[in-house]
Amino acid sequence: MTDTHTGTASVPGAAPPSSGALAGTAEEAALIRGARARARRRRLLILLTQVALVAAVLGGWQLGASSGALDTFTYGSPDGVVKQLRTWFADGTSLGSIWHNIAVTMQETVLGFLIGTVSGVVLGIALGRIRALADVMAPFIKAANSIPRIVLGSMFIIWFGLGPSGKVALAVVLVFFSVFFNAFQGTREVDRNLIANARILGASEWRVTSHVVLPSAMTWIVASLHAAFGFALIGAIVGEMLGAQAGLGQLIAQAQGNFNADGVYAGTLLIAVLALIAEFVVTRFEKRVLRWRPAQSAGDGTGL
Amino acid sequence: MTGTARDGSGTPAAPATAAKSASKSAAASASEAASAAAAIELRAATKRFRTPSGGVYTALRDLDLTVAPGEFCAVVGPTGCGKSTTLSLISGLERASAGRALVHGEPVTGIDPRVGFMFQTDAVFPWKSVLDNVAAGPQFRGAAKKEALSRARDWLRRVGLSGFEDRLPHQLSGGMRKRVALAQTLINEPEILLMDEPFSALDVQTRQIVQDELLALWELTRPAVVFVTHDLEEAIALADKVVVLTVGPGTVKDTFRVDLPRPRKVQEIRFQPRFVELYEQIWSSLRDEVRLAYARTAGDAPAPESAPVPAPATASGTPSPSTSASSSRNSSPTTADRAE
Ligand SMILES: Nc1ncnc2c1ncn2[C@@H]1O[C@H](COP(=O)(O)OP(=O)(O)O)[C@@H](O)[C@H]1O
Ligand SMILES: [Mg+2]
């Protein structure tokens, strides 16, 4: 019986059975080495192609701009964007230091993301668990969800003024709905056997929620977080564009007002960098909370 | 409906062959004696479900079942006859539509802390480590974390999983996961243990090993057990009493006392003449139900009278393992293979 506790028992917490690379005869080792080399070569090739693509686009843009084929007033130019960024970071912007503007936008985004996520998860699980509550709330949630968010931006400026709270509110609304629906669905999909098991083992309703429903629905919730952070950023930026004292959105809006194409591109670039960093953080978080799931089938693409 | 016609045979005293009556009367008297202090009692329990189309489906009708403290009772019956439903009534996960469910003489009103339940499909928590899974019961019941963990380590040792504390369920084999589930259930030291085809997903060899482990663990605390299975061999090897249910709506057709000595070794007991004898008796009672159930799903095609059991029925009512000529009734080729 491979199944009975003999040899392996002496290696507590051993890594999950690996792909059998250890078993190797010389022939297998050669095969693995060959496959690795092929994979490495392929990755390198892809990277080179990507760099070439970027170089071609930026080079073409730059060439067009400096030769006069592209109107720099309308389309800007790569060196104009670089110059704009250098000015912002060295001398600051019309709205104060660039770091201050980045900080303001990030603060609004992160705050909106956190509040929206927490309230979306809490309400999603509550409505998913309590049937009557879901039935009562359904029409209101559908109605609220059907309002175009940009309208809310104007509403929030009237309510909260030009400060950051209006932007946070807009981000919260955007994040809330994307997280809420996933948390709700995730709660509905929890394996009934697991809930029954927890109840028989002695779990209170609260413990069932925290020990079974939340971890189980986490797969759904985390899937929504990637989009949710993007929504939070959109909420903050759009809010700032509609009216603010500082922030990247307002910076872009002003550049647009001054017909400064390079400024618009530079602001966009900064936002893209922020979004990529956030995506990285969310992915790390996802890997952490979903560690318990079996590895996705051959996701690493080294295809032996 | 065929089920209605069979109602008469639901009474325990239903006359049958002379060979059967000896073991049956023993079972009847035992259950009567036990009823005063029965661990589990279902009295004329009926369960109806609303069907999605708005109708009502009767899953159980007038089911009587008594299990004494420390008794190991196996319930067999064709697929869909209401075996799982029976367990859910005892556990308090579902309420009886009519009749009563009693645990230690008290009506079941909700989930009883004295009850443990092992489910058919994996119900261990996939995001908890093996140790945390086993410690879940005491923790849910308010034990301090440290105490829960040390008790869990104890139980992991008992089911032979020391060294696997930090593994996640998906990193274990099917047999190991079953042992985690067993430890998770038994750590609460239930007085009543309900098991719903717990080992049906395991291969034959692993299943026999886990069955032996279950018997050894059961001897430690001796809870009253209701063990649902569609595997008659498993039922006889483990139980003191085998209850045969009719096709749905399920009700008790026959009760057989299994007078094989304990302690038992599941792999060896199958070759005892008494085991084979019991197998034939119970199978002759179960066979009709299995055929009826099969006929229903096969669009009421009547099964040939004396032909070997149809294939799906063979799968659910495991063929006799005996090599003796007396089991020639089930002389399908698979029988011979399985006996080796
Ligand atoms: N929650 C439910 N709603 C409707 N019908 C159900 C429900 N649970 C079980 N049934 C029906 O009751 C019958 C008995 O089910 P079950 O007890 O699961 O049978 P089994 O003997 O195979 O365990 C089946 O026909 C099943 O379809
Ligand atoms: Mg079942």
User: Rounded distance, CA A243 to CA A162, Å?
Assistant: 6
Residue type, A190: V
Least confident of A66-75, A99-108, A196-205, B163-172: A66-75
Give the residue numbers spanning the domain of B331: 37-114+190-339
Return the closest-CA partner of residue B78 out of B340, B315, B308.
B315
Instruction: Answer whether B83 contacts ligand 1 (Cβ < 6 A).
Output: yes
Mean pLDDT of A48-72: 92
Confidence grade of residue A232 (pLDDT, cut at 50, 70, 90):
very high
Specify the pLDDT at position B18.
Answer: 40
| C-alpha of B160 from chain center | 24
Q: How many domains does chain B have?
A: 2
Please tell me whether residues B297 and B197 are part of one structural domain: yes
DSSP-based three-state secondary structure for B308 = coil
Instruction: Answer whether B59 contacts ligand 1 (Cβ < 6 A).
Output: yes
Return the closest-CA partner of residue A237 out of A75, A107, A99.
A107
Mean pLDDT of A4-11: 38
Q: Which atom of ligand 1 is nearest to the CA of B196?
A: 23
Please tell me whether residues B205 and B107 are part of one structural domain: yes
DSSP-based three-state secondary structure for B302 = coil
User: Rounded distance, CA B15 to CA B24, Å?
Assistant: 10
Instruction: Answer whether B84 contacts ligand 1 (Cβ < 6 A).
Output: yes
Please tell me whether residues B79 and B150 are part of one structural domain: no
Please tell me whether residues B145 and B259 are part of one structural domain: no
Instruction: Write the residue in A11, A194, A202 that is nearest to B140 by C-beta.
Output: A202
Considering Cα of A245, then A251, then A252, then A258, what sign does the dihedral take?
Answer: positive
Return the closest-CA partner of residue A201 out of B128, B267, B22.
B128
Q: Chain B interface, mutation test: which of A8, A193, A197, A206, most B Cβ atoms within 10 Å?
A: A197
Helix axes A214-242, A261-289, angle to 10 degrees: 170
Residue type, B12: P
User: Rounded distance, CA B198 to CA B181, Å?
Assistant: 9
Please tell me whether residues B81 and B51 are part of one structural domain: yes
State pLDDT tens for residues B313-334: 333 333 333 333 333 333 333 3
Cβ of B171 and A2 within 8 Å?
no
Decide if B328 contacts B288 (C-beta within 8 A): no
Q: Please state, in angstroms and as integers, the Cα–Cα distance from residue B89 to each residue in B61, B103, B114, B188, B206, following that order.
A: 13, 11, 14, 20, 30
Site of tokens 């201050």 = A100
Specify the pLDDT at position B40.
Answer: 94
Please tell me whether residues B105 and B131 are part of one structural domain: no
Cis amide linkage into residue B263, ω under 30° from 0: yes
Please tell me whether residues B78 and B160 are part of one structural domain: no
The percentage of chain A sitting over the pLDDT mark of 70, rounded to a whole number, equals 89
Q: Which residue has the higher pLDDT, A124 or B3?
A: A124
What are the residues whose beta carbons fall under 8 Å from the beta carbon of B277, sequence distance 6 or more? none
Q: What is the ipTM of this complex?
A: 0.76
Strand order in the sheet with B224-228: B115-118, B192-196, B224-228, B72-76, B241-245, B252-257
Please tell me whether residues B317 and B178 are part of one structural domain: no
Chain B CB contacts of A16 under 8 Å are 167-168, 171
Instruction: Answer whether B230 contacts ligand 1 (Cβ < 6 A).
Output: no
Specify the pLDDT at position A296.
Answer: 59
Largest distance between two CA atoms of chain A = 78
| Closest C-alpha to ligand 1, atom 18 | B84
Please tell me whether residues B106 and B155 are part of one structural domain: no
Q: Which atom of ligand 1 is nearest to the CA of B86?
A: 17
Specify the pLDDT at position A243.
Answer: 87
A197: number of Cβ within 10 Å: 26
Return the closest-CA partner of residue A296 out of A83, A213, A286, A31.
A286
Cis amide linkage into residue B249, ω under 30° from 0: yes
Mean pLDDT of A19-25: 55
What is chain A's mean pLDDT, rounded?
Answer: 87
The percentage of chain A sitting over the pLDDT mark of 90, rounded to a whole number, equals 67
Q: What angle do CA A189, B53, B7 make, to 5 degrees?
A: 105
User: Rounded distance, CA B146 to CA B137, Å?
Assistant: 13
User: Rounded distance, CA A126 to CA A134, Å?
Assistant: 8
Specify the pLDDT at position B19.
Answer: 41
Please tell me whether residues B235 and B101 are part of one structural domain: yes
Domain boundary among B186, B211, B230: B186
Nearest 5°: phi and psi at B149? -65, -40
| Best CATH choice for the domain A73-289 from the list 1.10.3720.10, 2.40.30.110, 1.10.357.20, 1.10.630.10 | 1.10.3720.10
Please tell me whether residues B88 and B160 are part of one structural domain: no
Domain boundary among B186, B206, B231: B186
Strand order in the sheet with B106-107: B56-67, B40-50, B98-103, B106-107
Instruction: Answer whether B75 contacts ligand 1 (Cβ < 6 A).
Output: no
Decide if A251 contacts A93 (C-beta within 8 A): yes
In this structure, is residue B32 part of a structural domain?
no
Least confident of A50-64, A183-197, B304-318: B304-318
User: Rounded distance, CA B280 to CA B261, Å?
Assistant: 18
Specify the pLDDT at position A163.
Answer: 86
User: Rounded distance, CA A76 to CA A74, Å?
Assistant: 6
pLDDT above 80: residue A120: yes
Decide if B161 contacts B130 (C-beta within 8 A): yes
Chain A CB contacts of B171 under 8 Å are 16-17
What spacing in Å lies between the alpha carbon of B248 and ligand 1's midpoint?
Answer: 9
Tell me, what CATH number does B55's domain have?
3.40.50.300
Decide if B40 contacts B100 (C-beta within 8 A): no
Q: Which atom of ligand 1 is nearest to the CA of B88?
A: 17
**Tokens standing for residue B279:** 């197998």
DSSP run (H or E) holding B100: strand B98-103
In this structure, is residue B155 part of a structural domain?
yes
Specify the pLDDT at position A235.
Answer: 93
| C-alpha of B194 from chain center | 8
Q: Which long-range contacts (CB under 8 A, 24 or more apart) does B118-121 make?
A: B118/B181, B118/B182, B118/B185, B118/B193, B118/B194, B118/B195, B118/B196, B118/B198, B119/A193, B119/A196, B119/A197, B119/B181, B119/B196, B119/B198, B120/B84, B120/B196, B120/B197, B120/B198, B120/B200, B120/B201, B121/A193, B121/B201
In this structure, is residue B252 part of a structural domain?
yes
Domain boundary among B170, B186, B202: B186
Residue type, A149: R
CA-based nearest distance A4→chain B, Å: 8
In this structure, is residue B299 part of a structural domain?
yes
Chunked into runs of 10 residues, chain B (340 residues) has average pLDDT values of 37 39 44 63 93 90 94 93 94 93 92 93 92 95 94 93 93 92 94 94 90 92 94 94 90 93 90 94 92 79 44 37 36 34
Please tell me whether residues B77 and B136 are part of one structural domain: no
Chain B CB contacts of A186 under 8 Å are none
